[in-house]
Amino acid sequence: MHYLTRITAVTTLLTAICTPVFADPVPKNIIYLIGDGMGLAHTTAYRYFADDPTTKHIETTIFDELLVGTASTYPDDDTFVTDSAASATALSTGFKSYNGAIGVDVDKKPLHSILEIAKQKGLHTAIVSTSQINHATPASFIAHNESRNNYDAIADEYISNKINGKPIVDLMLGGGTQYFIREDRNLIDEFKAFGYQYADDLSRLAELKTLPAIGLFAPAGLPHVIDEPVGTFHLDKMAQQALSLLSQDNEKGFFMMIEGSQIDWCAHANDIACAMHELSDFAKTIETVKAFAEKQGDTIVVITADHSTGGLSVGANSKYLWKSDVVRQVHASAASMSKQMLESNDVLKVWNSKIDFALTDEESALLNIALKKAQETNKPRVLANQISDVINERSMSGWTTHGHTADDVQVFAYGVGSEKFRGFQDNIAIAHKLIQFIK
């Protein structure tokens, strides 16, 4: 070996010994967003729905900007198609389970969730959802129950699951008064005894001034944003208040799960306009959270879906066409229009007050048949489905199911450690990576 080469080799060795191994930077705050039922077709449709038609190009969305990878969602059985409970359990604990499982394994034994681990480590914890806060997705972060349908027992666990003598969630915002204020038990009074502030109206959200706090703004889920006055964003409003509360006294950091719950509900109903408006609220929430992470410089934002719902296709019926303008002309959910048509017994009047394009005679006849059927069977859903059929046909929106599909979902990330979520992963890996940050 030439002596110069030898010196270089020794220097390299010394450098290797003397240089401290810097661990990857670890985020202080974790914000985990779950778009329930939000598949690739949903964010694709949203891009064209949200596009500014006055410009020549198609604007990209926050989803396009933050995309890093994909995830498989299959549950621990032979169905491939997960429900929200099994997937939320995978996303919250890093273990797959059976459909219906809330934070328990296939033997119905409790699993540690990332929220529980965060609380053990002294982080503040929060959940925000537009469904009732004891619905499958948030529930899998807080409770352990063999069935997602045991709503009261799951709500009870929000107070009985304690770490250091206190409930494990410092901030809960969403719906669910019917489960938390019951004849047999008033959990809100019990939370108040633990020092929680309480608000029961979204217009009084700002009255929650310190943690711990709980805000329940509807008996079950909040209204669909499409049925609210233009410019109303429920999830974004709650997320903004949550960030402001969590930023006070934030020495150890926080873990927050935010669920866009009703993308799924609108997709189950095959209601394209309803789904687009829920996506709009979810996208706005992501913008808010990303701006926070950008300012802080110590936060990770990870966004994914638990599964895709409805088997949406952007374009249908063998036509090479999807009409975003038709979707933009719809200003109410099919469910709410169906209700109003049944109340007024007047299809045309309701249609013309909520939708900017006129019905053909044929469509009008179909809706009136459905109205009669809905009245006879006392099933408003029959009429709602017919309303959605007309809008789907006009906009060329395809749906293959009223349930979920096994399609992979997207993973989006921003901030400290976001590169770890690149590429394909199984949904449990998302939880493992996030839990690793806290541990």
| Closest distance to Zn ion from the beta carbon of 350 (Å) | 30
| Residue number, 139 or 387, with CB nearest to Zn ion | 139
Confirm whether 84 is a catalytic residue.
yes
Q: Is 259 in the site for Zn ion (CB under 5 A)?
A: no
Q: How far apart are CA 300 and CA 271, in angstroms?
A: 32
Q: How far apart are CA 148 and CA 26, in angstroms?
A: 33
Rule CB under 5 A: is residue 306 a binding residue for Zn ion? yes
CB of 307 to Zn ion, least distance (A): 6
Site map 160..189 versus Zn ion, x via CB under 5 A: ------------------------------
Handedness of CA 27, 30, 31, 37 (dihedral sign): positive
In Å, what is the CA distance from 183 to each residue of 6, 31, 65, 98, 393?
A: 82, 35, 48, 32, 46
Rounded alpha-carbon distances, angstroms, from residue 54 to 58, 64, 407: 10, 20, 34
Instruction: Tell me how far, at minimum, the Cβ of 263 lies from Zn ion, in Å.
Output: 9
The smaller minimum CB distance to Zn ion, of residues 135 and 394, is found at 135
* Per CB under 5 A, 278 contacts Zn ion: no
Catalytic pick from 84, 113, 140, 338?
84
| Shortest Å distance, C-beta 149 to Zn ion | 14
Q: Which of 36, 236, 271, 281 binds Zn ion (CB under 5 A)?
A: 36
Measure the CA angle with vertex 261, ends 255 and 267; round to 5°: 150
Burial 291-328 (b: 16+ CB within 10 A, else e): ebbeebeebbbbbbbbbbbbbbbbbbeeeeebebebbb
CB of 304 to Zn ion, least distance (A): 11
Residue nearest to Zn ion (CB): 84
φ, ψ (nearest 5 deg) of residue 376:
-65, -40
Residue 264 binds Zn ion, judged by CB under 5 A: yes
Nearest CB to Zn ion, comparing residues 103 and 417 = 103
Q: Which is nearer to Zn ion, 61 or 261 (CB)?
A: 261
Query: Are 437 and 300 within 8 A, CB to CB?
Result: yes
Chain Cα centroid distance, residue 311: 18
Nearer to Zn ion, 36 or 236 (CB): 36
Query: Any idea what DSSP says for residue 229?
Result: P
Q: Which residues are catalytic?
A: 84
Residues that bind Zn ion (CB under 5 A): 36, 84, 264, 306
